[in-house]
Chains A and B, each alone.
Chain A
Amino acid sequence: SQQGEEDPQALSIQEGENATMNCSYKTSINNLQWYRQNSGRGLVHLILIRSNEREKHSGRLRVTLDTSKKSSSLLITASRAADTASYFCATDRDPTSGSRLTFGEGTQLTVNP
């Protein structure tokens, strides 16, 4: 299995509910990032959390990082139909450079109106 595994692979919720996606990784990291991809499009950066941070917020997004468990979670609160997309976590391959990223398998989120 590769760096940056996510679960669930697919998540379907109703509008207004919260969505939680998890990501696990295997090696030490400098930072962990979450990206969003709408179908057939490029990726949009959502949030970056550094290895010395435990939690970070951005609007309706909340990211946590547990380096002891090598895991992260992305919480989207009060979801909207427009949040429907694939969400990927990404870790830097080389903690000293932080530039090359390894992406997880992604979670396909569907928010039903």
Chain B
Amino acid sequence: GAVVSQHPSWVICKSGTSVKIECRSLDFQATTMFWYRQFPKQSLMLMATSNEGSKATYEQGVEKDKFLINHASLTLSTLTVTSAHPEDSSFYICSVAGLTDTQYFGPGTRLTVL
């Protein structure tokens, strides 16, 4: 399967600042990537579908102006949490859509907003 990396693996920021999270597909052309959010001891919630070269599709209830997604190449998608607040603290995970309906996940980024 595809090898997916995320950077940073963890980040602590002050309330009101913006944080960028990178998701890289190291050995697979990622036409479609997904961004999820996971709160402690909960399941993954899909935030948005990121397609290379086009605008992301956001799930209902996810603010597109707050969670900016850019997927400018087949190997990189970025999620920027703008004006972060403590309630945005979460585990953010990206995945790459594989060829057979499976997804390959990155290791996740732990965001803590103070």
Contacts and interface: CB of A to CB of B under 8 A. Distances in A.
Name, among B32, B97, B101, B110, the residue most crowded by chain A CB atoms within 10 Å (CB to CB): B101
Interface stretch (A12-20, A39-47, A61-69): A39-47
Contact of A40 (B103, B104, B110): B110
A48 interface: yes
B91, B97, B103, B110 — most chain A CB neighbours (10 Å): B103
Nearest to B41: A108
Given A42-B93, A88-B44, A104-B43, A99 B101 contact: yes
B106 A42 contact: yes
A45 B103 contact: yes
B101 A40 contact: no
Interface string A44-57: 11001000000000
Most chain-B CB neighbours within 10 Å: which of A40, A102, A105? A40
A40 B46 contact: no
B101 A43 contact: no
Interface in B24-83: 32, 34, 41-46, 49
Given A40-B91, A88-B43, A100 B49 contact: yes
Contacts of A106: 43
A40 B1 contact: no
A36 to B, nearest CB: 10
B43 A105 contact: yes
Going nearest first, the 9 A-B pairs with the smallest beta carbon separation are: A42-B105, A43-B105, A98-B101, A42-B107, A103-B44, A103-B43, A45-B102, A105-B43, A42-B108
7 contacts: A44-B105, A88-B44, A98-B101, A99-B97, A103-B45, A105-B42, A108-B41
